[in-house]
Amino acid sequence: MHRTVFERSAPAASVVTESLRTSRAEVFWTEDAAGERYPALDSDRDVDLAIVGGGYAGLWTAIRAKERNPDARVLVLEALKVGWAASGRNGGFVEASLTHGESNGERRWPEELEQLDRLGHANLDAIEQTVARYQMKADFERTGSLSVAIEPHQVEWLEGPDALSEEHIRAEVNSPTYLAGSWDRRSTALVHPGKLAAELARVATDLGVEIVENSPVRSLDGATLRLDRGTVRAQKVALATNVFPSLLARNRLMTVPVYDYVLMTEPLTDAQLASIGWQNRQGIADLANQFHYYRLSADNRILFGGYDAIYHYGGRIRTEYEDRPQTFEKLASHFFTTFPQLEGLRFSHRWAGIIDTSTRFCAFFGTAHGGRVAYAAGFTGLGVAATRFAADVMLDKLDGLSTELTELRMVRERPLPFPPEPAASVGINLTRASLDRADHNEGRRNVLLKTLDAVGLGFDS
């Protein structure tokens, strides 16, 4: 077994401790975004379309529904606050990929790969156009992304026209851990997640959508939704509940909640920023199985997240799981291995978000109750852009349309469910241990990982 660069070049423990000493367990994005607050549902409603969930998927569905039919009565039902969960806690990477990367798509739907790539880029272009059309203040930047090799065995994975040598990748961003890299210039944009959620809600209400907060849906009967203080009778329903338990029993084992952890630094000084370069402001991810992702904010903070992916027995979701000192210490250590020249920089915020992981590593879709209810879930950490695509899929399905989107095998097929407990915990934790072992063994995958690859199952951070 080999030590990784984060073990070979770890900073002093005192550097890590001091960097976290004044950090707060708060989400920077939602703290920094001044969105509107909306009233709770207080009476019955009759609507054309009811949308359950006030995150990206629900808000995009509302906007796209009103763009299709401005006269439609559209109601968004949010259990707490718009954008408070995954939509306000992610890294802000707006990816063109609809399949969680080309290799995942090629393994599952090789005959559709070119079509899915085209649709994914068209979807990202449409998001950029929507931001411009509605003058959305969401810090949208079409920067592209860097993939970086941080171990010798990863260098050969970067062959191709976009490959960059160690000299060239370090000229872009100066980290001693970088051995090679590639720059995909058009497939990724960056956005402020909290501002994007707030602006999507603003645009939706400007178009005539009604949004209610603090209004959890207790049950679904056909297209009738029952809440604590009212009943919503809808012609159609779109379920956009992400990681939270589905109102449809058939989907209860289709996703598992996996906690992902993030640090945000204080703003870098001009001298600190000059020491690492990063003039082109790309998003960055390394090539390990347990990978890190990081990017600059508009005010030149560095968000640094990933690596640990924590599942709790029974798929439990608890507020106390969000503050995990051992993970934040690990992330801080890895940060200063990546950028030792930033020693002395402090982290201002630390938080966690929950990924709705599916066994196929990207979203799945379907309908229920005679086609009056549509759903999308299982984005597996790649939903910032894919939620807009999902909105169009759900609306096409609810309208009973046969379109390019609904005819995709990727859209028509459902993933395998996760097994019930205790098998789920055993399988997920064995897989995580195997991925960690592969990272410490020059990328060599053991029998378990090879078997999961063969049957089309995946799991990583």
Contact 253, 417 (CB under 8 A): yes
Give Cα 393 distance to the centre of its chain: 19
- Give the integer Cα–Cα distance in Å for 89 and 359: 22
Same domain as 245, residue 136: yes
- Kindly give the parts of the chain with pLDDT less than 50: 460-461
Same domain, 434 and 294: no
**What integer pLDDT is reported at residue 322 of this predicted model?**
97
Residue 321 buriedness (CB in 10 A; 0-12 / 13-18 / 19+): middle
Edge-to-edge strand order for the sheet containing 292-296? 163-164, 180-184, 145-149, 283-286, 292-296, 302-310, 256-265, 347-357
| One domain, residues 307 and 238 | no
Residue 2, pLDDT score: 83
Residue 461 lies in a domain: no
112 and 245 belong to one structural domain? yes
pLDDT given at position 461: 43
Domain shared by 77 and 5, yes or no:
no
Residues 101 and 213 in one domain: yes
CB crowding 406-430: b at 16 or more within 10 Å, else e:
bebebbeeebebbeeeeebbebbee
Residues in the chain: 461
CB atoms within 10 A of CB 163: 17
**C-beta of residue 288 within 8 angstroms of C-beta of residue 330:** no
Let me know whether 82 and 214 are in one domain.
yes
pLDDT at 452: 80
State residue 35's pLDDT score: 86
State residue 302's pLDDT score.
Answer: 98
**Other beta carbons less than 10 A from residue 33's beta carbon:** 21
Question: Does residue 460 form part of some domain?
Answer: no
Dihedrals φ, ψ of 260, to 5°?
Answer: -120, 140
Residue 153 placed within a domain: yes
Residues 183, 161: Cα–Cα separation, whole Å: 10
Residue 406 sits in the same domain as residue 345:
no
396 and 281 within one domain:
no
pLDDT digits (tens, 9 = 90+) for 165-203: 999 999 999 999 999 999 999 999 999 999 999 999 999
pLDDT at 389: 98
In the numeric block, which tokens belong to residue 214?
């603090």
Token match 């029974």: residue? 314
User: Is 4 a domain residue?
Assistant: yes
What pLDDT was estimated at residue 460? 46
DSSP-derived 3-state class of residue 340: helix
Q: Exposed/middle/buried for 170, CB within 10 Å: 0-12, 13-18, 19+?
A: buried
Q: How many CA atoms lie within 13 A of 266 on its CB side?
A: 16
Please give the C-alpha separations between residue 344 and each of 265, 266, 299, 325, in angstroms, as whole numbers.
11, 11, 18, 19
Please indicate, yes or no, whether residues 100 and 199 belong to a single structural domain of this protein: yes
Examine residue 325 and say whether the peptide bond preceding it is cis (omega within 30 degrees of 0): no
What is the CATH classification number for the domain harbouring 248?
3.50.50.60
Task: State residue 263's pLDDT score.
Answer: 98
Domains identified in the chain, total number: 3
Q: What is the pLDDT of residues 32-89, one digit of tens each?
A: 998 899 999 999 999 999 999 999 999 999 999 999 999 999 999 999 999 999 999 9
Judge if 10 and 105 occupy the same domain.
no
Q: Is residue 8 part of a domain?
A: yes
Domain of 167, in residue numbers = 1-28+145-184+257-355
373 and 430 share one domain = no
